[in-house]
Chain A
């Protein structure tokens, strides 16, 4: 969409949005300035074929190997809409609580650039697929920020320019450019938010949770580094209560870290400029992660007139209620709903439920584990604790985890039946992740099994009580604390493998009835 359009939506704060620096932005200090941020997220859909032709959608293949006359913009070719892409886009719009347009059309966005073969991008303009939605974003402090979704629309991706002959790979200093059209025509969905975001932290939370939502819909790889999720921001600053300031469009934030740093840098730049009496120019700025600075790309004031007009090669898309309901019925459980269910069904604390709901595979792993063990709380503790710590350290997704649900369930079973202490279970888990061996096998190999055998322990307890008549007498005098001394002695004897509960019971029995 055009920047002008986005601007026109900035007519006032949307209802229900947590505005200002107070909501989740306490760490962000800019005197009495507040930032106004709207995000435009581009998501590449993971359909098998491109938006308007039959070429395969690929990543990282040899240049110009997945192209045809249509996506190369040869004379005479015509686009045909990918129905799967339409369905995926509808899924996203519905998941973002948008109203689906009964009649939606494509427009041509005209501009010349070598990565755009037809010299126009087939996009949507004033009749997008979805409008008027929202996403509820859970902030660090547990509060909720409702971010309005202005629109969700479909379009096609451009090709990729490779600037050669220069040092940086950037166009500056390059002596020629090459074009790879493999990406050209890949289906994109653009999600435009209302300017309801006021801090870089909120922006990061919004993108993180939006990304997780789309991942759970199964319609995109949502990989920022590979460019299947791209983020641009419209940023302005103002004093609370004042009208919106002039905004800039911040581009090239291809990771969460750059998104945060880019916004921070740009907000500070704008505040500094305004405080020193300068004027903000409406323009596109580019965040350079290498220098941490933002630089101007071009002035929006003299920018493109895209000459949008309805794409005459495509007929209007009319989506009836039955279609929309069919797509809605096919939606997986969305994070907000899952979080609530995890709380209700498993009695999890909201924070744990939110973490598990935000990561679909992790949530799935948890639910399978809880079912296998019958112990929801300990399952959640393990998944969010040791398992997540291991995955983070190893840089793995839960789907790549070497410890299966069954394997972890076995380990938790050993804990719950008293065969292993919690501490020992952690050690066994570490070995499991490193070797892939089962918990039973590791316990057997290392002789780690907790001694719960009453007969075996009873002999040890009796011997220790007998060897320490003094403390035994003290216990019988009523000094309960002495029990700790005996427990320590038994543990020492058993190298910590004794079941503490069994040891306790046996000690009391032997101390109260001296000499067996």
Chain B
């Protein structure tokens, strides 16, 4: 272990271990065995954040007093009376409302906003005894694929600090890769969990739409948003999913899972058919990414899985449909940020109209404004049929393509992202290039399907992710298949970060 890393645990043989490199379920085991206290574990992560976050910039807010107080409460409880995950720390994307904790969506317009209520997932994690380390950076209102659209800071990829961590859950992915939390929650509207997970070399799961309550998730595109885990292994992803999933009476679109994900333990893929989505492995993909993907297909075959190419012609129109539907919903969802009740309000205005326009002009960043304008336009009288209604028809075609594919295959696979992490600033001047980062992930949201990204290998020293897509509510099977691939590939998930460790 490098000096400066808080080594607070101690093995039974007396040697020190670095708890910040462990998975959440290992943390849970150490807590249960009394080998580490919740306070020690939390302190270790806070120290780690203090050591590396100046370089990584994944946190917008670190709640040191709150986390330590919660940890002390856990430690005061006899171990036998604790619930299983009590005392395990977690990082939270700053799009989730936490009562009493500033929640900004990485936007100036919500600077200083302190929610008066907990999101349903937060209530569930609180009840389970998890320790909230703080709020993680993101693209403003989850609009972006690099976390560069944050109003407050640019998060860096722990594998190469000159590169982006992906987005919009870039803070969540980077913090897990940089050992600043054992796991984190993110949200995924068009790839915002899976793409940063891929770029940072961690596991990211977007559950089936409706598996997890959206209550308290600050809406970007209501028909696409889902909350999901970013973790160091598939087993943790399954555990965190089970902690947050469930039908919620506060979310009419929530259904919950038909069966818990449980502890994935599948070691082979015998009898499973995998469709390789032709449209996602062609020229759109970087050769390095394709190489890793090809070896992954070989690994799946070695595990007994059958891989076959399948064409879903309509998914190529996914990005276009998405950039009508998501901005349309966003233009309405973000209208409430008007300066009347909370958040930023302009200091000077002569009348109501000026108050609205100045507040919103000052409060929103460029990308958010762009999408509000696109969405407002697409929903306008005279354009609705040509844009919004047409995009919804395209969405239906995509759903049908997936349905057809799942009549032949158990799972569909593709690279998660067509490229590895790109340089900071590289795509900021070219929104279309940025939008194409989510080429392979967007159709999954449009079809409301579950998708997972797991580390599949490295290309030029940077992580490459494999995306596995399952039918609706197939999370248990999906996570078991992902577990088998993960065990076969054995990819390192904790970034070295040698240069920033002091």
Contacts and interface: CB of A to CB of B under 8 A. Distances in A.
Contact of B103 (A75, A80, A309, A313): A75
B339 to A, nearest CB: 10
Interface residues of B, number: 43
A72 B341 contact: yes
A315 interface: yes
B332 A309 contact: yes
B97 interface: yes
Contacts, number: 99
Contact of A112 (B113, B119, B215, B335): B335
B380 A305 contact: yes
A78 B214 contact: yes
A315 B214 CA distance: 14
A79 interface: yes
Contacts of A108: 332
B462 interface: no
B1 interface: no
Interface stretch (A38-46, A113-121, A258-266): A113-121
A469 interface: no
A312 interface: yes
A203 B119 CA distance: 49
Contacts of A75: 97, 103, 105, 110, 113, 115, 218-219, 336-337
Contacts of B103: 75
B336 A309 contact: no
B309 interface: no
Contacts of A312: 221-223, 253, 329
A308 to B, nearest CB: 8
Contact of A73 (B222, B250, B341): B341
Nearest to A119: B335
A179 interface: yes
Contacts of A77: 117, 215-216
A122 to B, nearest CB: 11
Contact of B336 (A73, A80, A314): A73
A117 B215 contact: no
Contacts of A81: 252
A307 B335 CA distance: 12
A307 B376 contact: yes
B217 interface: yes
Contacts of B218: 75-76
A76 B340 contact: no
B352 A114 contact: yes
B342 interface: yes
Contacts of A73: 336, 341
Contacts of A179: 340
A103 to B, nearest CB: 15
A509 interface: no
A77 B250 CA distance: 8
Chain B CB within 10 A, most for which of A75, A76, A119: A75
Contacts of B323: none
B152 interface: no
B379 A309 contact: yes
A74 interface: yes
Contacts of A142: none
A69 to B, nearest CB: 5
Interface in B82-118: 96-97, 103, 105, 110, 113, 115-117
B376 A74 contact: no
Interface in B156-188: none
Contacts of B110: 75
Interface in A72-112: 72-81, 108, 110, 112
Interface string A309-320: 100111100000
A81 B331 CA distance: 23
A79 B356 CA distance: 24
Contacts of B253: 78, 312-315
B252 A307 contact: no
B98 to A, nearest CB: 10
Contacts of B328: 309
A80 B250 contact: yes
Contacts of B115: 69, 74-76
A119 B338 CA distance: 8
Nearest to A69: B117
B117 A74 contact: yes
A78 B251 contact: yes
A305 B110 CA distance: 27
B496 interface: no
Contacts of B251: 78, 80, 313
B101 to A, nearest CB: 13
B246 to A, nearest CB: 15
B388 interface: yes
Given A75-B110, A108-B332, A119-B338, A309 B249 contact: no
A139 B216 CA distance: 53
A120 B331 CA distance: 11
Nearest to B253: A315
Contacts of A308: 379
Interface string B117-137: 101000000000000000000
12 contacts: A74-B116, A74-B342, A75-B218, A76-B115, A76-B214, A76-B219, A78-B250, A80-B250, A179-B340, A307-B380, A309-B328, A315-B253
Top 9 nearest A-B pairs by Cβ distance?
A: A119-B335, A312-B222, A307-B379, A312-B223, A75-B218, A76-B216, A76-B218, A76-B97, A73-B336
Given A76-B218, A305-B381, 6 more contacts: A75-B336, A76-B217, A77-B117, A110-B331, A313-B253, A315-B252
